[in-house]
Structure 1
Amino acid sequence: MADITVSLTVRDLTHGDLPSCAWSGSATHLVSMAKALDRAARGEVDYLAVCPPSGVPVAVGGVDYAKTPGAGTLWQLAVHEALQSCGIGTVLIQAAEQRIRARGLDSAELGVEESNPRARALYERLGYVAYGSAPDSWEVESSDGTTTRYETMCTLMRKPLP
């Protein structure tokens, strides 16, 4: 087996990227991403894309600056399923933390579903510490086109950014 190294770049996600991000969720999720990009245009959030040389996003995620005063809140983090456990999520999170620092903020926060221990392990490895829990919910579109409300419990995590 041979190792392959691929260069990755992190840039702002654009509306033009959305059709190539169908891997990250349903049509409802893509609508949510489009709304987040509108917020990015107003400076309320950053929405990042991690891309190989093709320029097609293989990971995406946002930083919301309005949710928690004094912190950037990471949300909608996703890495293409075929590329998980390759370090791409770490690249995405570190880039998001750089954006938070560039805004003069000194901490990052996120919520991770309690049913996702793999993601929580990544966040802990990157220095995030649990400080509470809270319910969360969002709209999910099923394969037959119906929309339902997905409800979950999330562990809230925080990391100081020196």
Structure 2
Amino acid sequence: MSQRPGAPAGPTASSVTLPLTVRDLLPADLPSCGWAGTPLHLANVARQLDRARRGEVDYLAVCTPSGAPVAKCGIDYRVREGAGTLWQLAVLPALQSCGIGGLLVSAAERRIVGRGLSRAELSVEEDNPRARALYERLGYTAYGQETESWDQQGPDGVVRRHEAVCTLMRKELERPL
């Protein structure tokens, strides 16, 4: 394969702009969410969608024009009194640092305000400084720490209990007048 004379060597960069929408995550979306975690994690997300049908949580997805989810997060209204707690936030790895996480968190905050609440909370693992920096840029402040644990499936398929020290963060939200 020959290169055109005067053309730069190697790959070239270009950009594409796509409109994204935020909507409720649906059970039909789960097969296309393998990027978000293991089958064990996706089974948990399916259980959370059952809770969403009962109104206990909201579960959001950021989607491309084709409807494919590229980010997701849950909002639990039963964790802390008077707050919506964001959890299971994930952005397709190839699209991280493109503003999609901020778009998702903003949409989640609007859902929380829509429920008549004025505070959003979340926890971030101590070993995830990029996520913590995002939340701080979005106005979240740390107020404590706690150890959290959950089942995690390893690459070998074995399920082990994962434990992590997490920073608790919150943000006061303004209700529209």
Cα deviation for residue 92 of structure 1 reads 0.4
Which position in structure 2 is the counterpart of 1:98? 110
CA distance in 1, matches of 2:75, 2:63: 18
Cα deviations by residue, 1:57-105 (Å, 9 ceiling, x for unpaired): 0000000001011000000000000000000000100000000000000
1:66-77 correspondence runs (5 A): 66-77=78-89
The count of residues paired between Structure 1 and Structure 2 equals 162
The two structures have a TM-score, normalised by structure 2, of: 0.90
Partner of 2:34: 22
Runs of at least 4 residues off by over 6 Å: none
Q: Give how far 1:143 is off.
A: 2.3
Deviation of 1:126 (Å): 0.1
- Report percent identity of matched pairs: 63
Q: What is the Cα deviation at residue 3 of structure 1?
A: 3.1
Partner of 1:48: 60
Q: Distance in 2 between matches of 1:63 and 1:30?
A: 16
Unaligned runs of 5+ in 2: 1-12
> Aligned Cα RMSD in Å?
0.7
The one-letter amino acid of 2:43's match is: V
Unaligned runs of 5+ in 1: none
Deviation, 1:4, is: 1.9
Corresponding residue number in structure 2 for 1:128: 140
- The structure whose Rg is larger is 2
Is 2:114 the partner of 1:81?
A: no
Query: Matched residues in 1 for 2:173 and 2:120: separation?
Result: 7
In 2, Cα distance between equivalents of 1:120 and 1:145: 29
Deviation at 1:110, TM superposition (A): 0.1
Shift in CA distance, 3/143, structure 1 to aligned 2, threshold 3 Å: closer
